[in-house]
Each structure stands twice: as structure tokens, then as C-alpha cells.
Amino acid sequence: MLLQQLINGLTLGGVYAIIAIGYTMVYGILELINFAHGEIYMLGAYLAIIFLGLFTAMGLTATSLPLALILTAILTIIFCSAYGFTMEKVAYKPLRNAPRLSPLISAIGVSIFLQNYVMLTQGATDKVFPQRFGEAGFQFMNVNVTYLQAMIILVSGLLMFFLHLFIHKTRMGKAMRATAQDKTMAALVGINVDSIISVTFIIGAGLAAVAGIMVASYYGLVNYFIGYIAGIKAFTAAVLGGIGNIPGAMLGGIILGLVESTGAAYISSEYKDAYAFIILIVILLIKPSGILGKTTEEKV
Amino acid sequence: MKPILISLFAAILFLPFKGLKAAGIMFISILILLSAVSILKKTKVIDAIKAIRIPEAGRFKAFLIPALLISFLAFPLMLKDYYIDVLIMSGIYTLLALGLNIIVGFTGLLNLGFAAFYAIGAYTYALLNTKLGLGFWTSLPISAGFAALAGLLLAIPALRLRGDYLAIVTLGFGEIVRLVLNNWDSLTNGPNGITGIAPPSLFGVSLGKLNLYYYLVFLLVLLAVIIIRRVESSRIGRAWIAIKENEIAASSMGINTTKYKLYAFAFGTFWAGVAGILFSAKMQFVSPESFTFMESILILSMIILGGLGNIYGAIIGAFILVLLPEVLREVQLYRMLILGIGLVLLMVFRPHGILGGVKGVHFRS
């Protein structure tokens, strides 16, 4: 029973972790809580349903399901990355030197816009994922693990691994780390800060898209407001691990997923959504820098 | 060439959700928009919009304020019930906007869970009235006091946090309050809410009738404006503004920033409590649905629209955002969509709101 909850929690945690990475990367560079990040995840879930529906109508799903799924994933990631890119250009870039509250309010505006746009174009009712994967799976230490769960855990693990390589082993990753440390200095040594910021948004949005696809296929149902709650939870995960810190976001996401699934099973499932908020408030009050974060002095 | 590419890009973004025809329309409209913007930029219209300063009422003030007061007093005599109802809601939102303006506008502490204090005010009266049989007038100070106490209790630990962290904690608090109201069935009756709340009465006359209730709301709003104006231009108000402008500088000038921030939280949430009791006494019904995150955002939008830190801006913002959807009934569906775009545009083009730039309306530097 406990082990079963751990597997469920790990699945959930993997999803939270890869959304949280998007928050933490943007915060690391811009010190901005990208409030609309959760909406990108929601758009990803919708796009997966739309594209897979399209391929089903074209008959591709019947001939080759894996091909249809891969194409769906690629298209969804491309579109979501484009949304992330556009969002930054339209709503945040003009505000880069504005007071700190302005971009946050602008982000809330983007979030409201995207939610309502999807509601108006796709309807307010739940959308069903066109492909069911069923309960097929395998036994692992007397616990049922569905193939989908294994897939989600595997994919999120791999993504985190590759992201880690990207940040630490490539030139672009180095430039990103430099920009996160000090934008002005990075610009002085010849890093194009604007394009680094764009790349950050594109990667974050691409990861959120993957999370969206995974959740849409896992639960089979999506709605236009899933982005808000998932966004808050992923943000909690990012803060829990130490915002601005990528391994921290991964750790925070997994902890949050585990707390939520065990809490729902053993304490109360009615307050399932409240756990994230309570963790968030407690961690901010006790150790705002998070588990892996460094404390920063306030600069004059 | 560049505008065409941008429009094409934007049109493709809309493609999966709306289909080919809508994407085509998007392409053309964004192209027109971009050309319009570039023309406006060339002719410096945008700079002009950014630079618009609403003139101070100045000489007209002596005439304007009495005229407004008299017309507001006369409205119930000539308007239909529907309009009075809308005006009452505008008044309740004005109180909320005024309260939030103290916290966000004066002191610069972003609060994204203001609806929670509104809910606490509303539910306090609902419970006191239906379970204990207390009347409106006894409950008024209790409800407002409870909201202020909740604000204080949240603020004491939360104020150690900076800007956006504080915003997220208040957001979390707002959600927790709503979840508790939704799930504590034995006390709050869960999602079904509490019914049968009594309207107020005065000297044995029930104020349940809309036009009488209107005067009650009007009086409380007037009282709030007078009190908040007095506080704003007092030592406390100046301390708040100093904290907003530069917290470190303020504390090195000898201002106890924590103390004044707590004052701001308690004083601001107090008015949310007043708005809450007015709301539940008017509706005679409360449910958690009325106090969502979107409600908090709506109140925040009001003060941003009007101009942060400006009492009259808060009033104007509240009236615009309550009246606009009523006037534009046909676009009811698009209300939130427009609000979202509006927030972004406002931040990009006019971050100080409608009354931005009208500084020091009644105390000059």
C-alpha cells in the first residue's frame, strides 16, 4: 500500500519536477515568477489532444500508434516552445526595467488570457485524451506499475539528466549560468542576454509541454484550469528545492509528489490541493531559500 | 517584411486552437495592428498616451465633489432596481479596492489573496447571524475586526518575506481559506454555502430594500474614503509611502518598517471585512464560490487600472470594472479574456494606471 503510493507519488512528482524546472530557470535569470508557466503546461495537454485527434482522424493512429504519438509530442513541444518564446517577447521583455511588481502582474494577465482563450475556443467541459493506455503494466515488488507510469518516471528522469548535461557541459549552458549570476557582467563578456533569456523560456516551455502530454495521457481528461493549480504546485516544488536551483526543483517536485499521494491516501483526499499550499507557506516562513538554495543578502 | 513574418508567426500560434480560417483572420488583424503601431510610433502617439497626465481637479474640486455627492445621493430616487443593485456592488468593490490599495498601493506589498479577508468578513456575519442570531450592527465591528485579525496573523510571519514571495504566500493563504470554507461542512455547509442571512435594520426599519441598502453602502464608502484619506496624510501614511519607495532608506530614517507594514495589513484587511459583511447581508447568502483567486485578481486589477496608491484611482477602477461588464452584456463571455489582455497592455503602456502621475493629490512634496 505504501509502496503503491510511493510509485504514484513518484509519477506525479516527476511531472511537477519538470514543470518546476521551467519556473526555477526563469527565476534564476530574471527573478520573475512566471505566473503563466502553468498555462503552457495546460496548452501542452490540450495540444496533445488536438494533434492526436487529428492523427486519429487521418488514420495514422490505426497504422502506427508509436509514430502518431511521437509526431504529436514533437508538434506539441514545438508549439509550446513558440508560446513560451512569444510570451516573453510580448509580456515580459518590455518590462525588464520596470518595478518588480509590473512583470508579475503582466504574467497574471497572460495567465488569465490563456485560460480564457482556451475555454472559449475549446469549451469549458473536460476534454478526453483520444487514446487510452489502460491498466496494463508489470509487477514490481508486489506493486502494480502501469507502463504509462514507468514511462512518465523514465521520461522525466531522462529529461532532467539531459538538461543537467546541457547546463553544465555546453557553451550555451555556460552562458546561461553566467547570465543567471550577473546579467550585466554576462553582457560585458559578449553573451547575448536577450537570446539567452529566449532560450530559457523555450526550454522551460518545452519541458512544460512534455509534462502536459504526460498528464493528459495519464489522467485521460484535461480542463482549461489545470494550469493554475499545477503551476502553483510546481512553483511550490521550485521554492521547496530552492528557487533558481535546477537540481532543487527536481528534488522539490519529487518530494511534493510523494507528500501529496501519501497525504491523500493516509490523511484526507479532500485537502489534497491544500498540502502544496501548506508546504509552500511553511517552507517560505522557515527557510525561504529552500532545501538546496543559498541565502542571498538583500542588496541596496 | 518583418511585420509580415511576425504576423505569420502569430497566426501559426493560433492555428491548432482555432483552425485555418481564424488563423487567417489573426494574420490579417495582427498585420494591421503592427502597421498601426508602427505608424503610431512614427507619429509619437504612443509617447503621448504614456505622457497623458490627468489634470488635477484643482479649481474644480470645490465644485466637483459636492456635485458627485449629490448625484450619488439622488440616484436611488430616479434609477431602476437593477441599476441600484449594480451601484451597490460597485460600492462593495470600492471598499475592497480601497482596502487593497492601502496594502499594495500605499505600502507596496503585493497581496494576491485579498478575497480571503473578504470571505472572512462575509462568513463571520453569516455564522454570527444564522448560528448565534447576532444582528448586523453588532456583527459589523466583529466581522471587520476578524478580517483585520486574520490579516495581522498572516502578516506577522509573512512580512519577513520580500516582494513576490509575500505575494505567493498571500495567494496560498487565499486558497487555503477557500478550501477550508469548501470542506468544513459542519460549520460552513461546504460548497452549498449559508442561506437565510438577515438584512440589517435600523430603528426597526429593515434595510433589506435595495434603495435603503444603497444608502448604507454609500455611507460606509464615504466613511472609508474620509478615514483612509486622513490616515494617508498622517504620519502613518507617509511612513507607508516611504516604505514603498525604498524600504532600506525608510528604515534608516528611523521608520519601524515591520510595525507600519503590520498596520497596513490590518487596516487594509479591515475594509475587506466591512465589504464582506455588506456582501453577505445584501445577498443573504454566501458560498465559497464568491471568493476565488479570480476575485482577488479582479480587485487587484481595479487598483492597478485606477493607478496604484491613489484613493480616487481605486474608486474609479472599481466602478469601471463593475460597470463595464454590465454595460457590455454581449461580451460577458469575453470579460476575463479582455481583462487578461488589458492587464498586460496596461503594464506595458501605462504601468501607473489611469490616474498615474497625479501625485500628491492632497499633500504636496
What pTM was computed for the model? 0.82
Contact B179 A271 (CB under 8 A): yes
Among A residues 25-54, those touching chain B with beta carbons less than 8 Å apart: 33, 46-47, 50-51
Residue A23, min C-alpha distance to chain B (Å): 13
For helices B257-283 and B210-232, angle between their N-to-C axes, nearest 10 degrees: 170
Model pLDDT for residues B187-234, shown as the tens digit of each residue: 888 788 888 888 887 776 777 777 788 888 998 999 999 999 999 889
* Cell numbers linked to B255: 521608520
Size of chain B in residues:
365
Using alpha carbons only, what angle is made at residue B300 by residues B296 and B304, rounded to the nearest 5 degrees?
170
Nearest chain B Cα distance for residue A199, angstroms: 17
Cβ contact B340–A109 (<8 Å): yes
**C-alpha distance from B193 to closest chain A C-alpha (Å):** 17
How many Cβ atoms sit within 10 Å of the Cβ of residue A42? 30
Query: In 3D, which of B234, B218, B244, B227 has the Cα closest to residue B107?
Result: B244
Mean pLDDT of A207-220: 89
Grid coordinates representing B262 are: 503590520
Across the interface, whether the CB atoms of B347 and A98 are under 8 A apart is answered yes
The yes-or-no verdict on residue B50 having pLDDT over 70 is no
**Confidence bin at B364 (pLDDT 50/70/90):** very low
CB A299 within 8 A of CB A249: no
Task: For chain B, give the percent of residues with pLDDT over 90.
Answer: 19
CATH number of B60-349: 1.10.3470
- The CA distances from residue A158 to A92, A211, B299, in Å, are 30, 13, 43
**B23/B8 Cα distance (integer angstroms):** 9
Distance CA B243, CA B263 (A): 12
Contact A104 B13 (CB under 8 A): no
What residue in B sits closest to A32 (Cα-Cα)?
A: B164
Mean pLDDT in residue range B308-334: 82
Residues B110, B309: contact at Cβ < 8 Å?
no
Where do the domains of chain B lie? Answer: 2-48, 60-349
Angle at CA of residue B63, ends B61 and B67, nearest 5°: 115
A172 residue type, one letter = M
Does the pLDDT at position B365 exceed 60? no
Beta pairing partners, A139: A144
pLDDT tens across A229-254, in order?
Answer: 888 888 888 888 887 788 888 888 98
Please give the Cα distance from B69 to B61 (Å, whole number). 12
DSSP output for B346-358: HHHH-TT-TTTT-
Among B9, B13, B165, whose Cβ lies nearest the Cβ of A288?
Answer: B165
Residue A284 forms contact with B (CB below 8 Å): yes
CA distance A248 to chain B (A): 17
Percent of chain A with pLDDT over 90: 13
Q: 454595460: which residue's cell? A: B327
Which 3 state secondary structure label does DSSP give A243?
Answer: coil
Contact partners, residue B359, CB within 8 Å, separation at least 6: B365
Place of cell 549560468: A177
Which residues in chain A have their CB less than 8 angstroms from residue B168's CB? 33, 235, 239, 280, 284
pLDDT of residue B59: 61
Residue type, A17: A
- Number of Cβ within 10 Å of residue B108's Cβ equals 22
* Mean pLDDT comparison of A201-215, B4-18, B188-202, highest-scoring range: A201-215
* Structural domains for chain A: 2-286 (1.10.3470)
Please, which pLDDT band fits residue B46 given cuts at 50, 70 and 90? low
pLDDT for B362 equals 38
Among A35, A71, A37, which Cα is nearest to A52's?
Answer: A71
Chain A residues near residue B336 by CB distance under 8 angstroms: 112, 115-116
Which among A116, A270, A277 has CB closest to B176? A277
pLDDT on residue B361: 41
SS3 state at A134? coil
pLDDT in tens, B245-299: 888 888 888 888 888 999 999 999 999 999 999 999 888 888 888 888 888 988 9
Q: How confident is the model at residue A299 (pLDDT cuts 50, 70, 90)?
A: very low
CB contact under 8 A, B344 and A288: no
- Let me know: does A88 contact A68? Beta carbons within 8 Å: no
Helices (H), chain A: 2-30, 37-58, 60-63, 65-87, 101-122, 147-169, 171-181, 183-188, 193-219, 226-241, 246-266, 272-286
Mean pLDDT of chain A: 84
Segment of A48-57, A264-273, B77-86, B194-203 carrying the highest mean pLDDT: A48-57
Report the Cα B13 to chain-centroid distance in Å: 33
The cell 487587484 sits on which residue? B300
* CA pair distance B304, B313, nearest whole angstrom: 8
pLDDT digits (tens, 9 = 90+) for B76-135: 777 787 888 888 999 999 999 999 999 988 888 888 889 999 999 999 999 888 888 788
**Closest chain B residue to the Cα of A43, Cα to Cα:** B17
CA distance A95 to chain B (A): 6
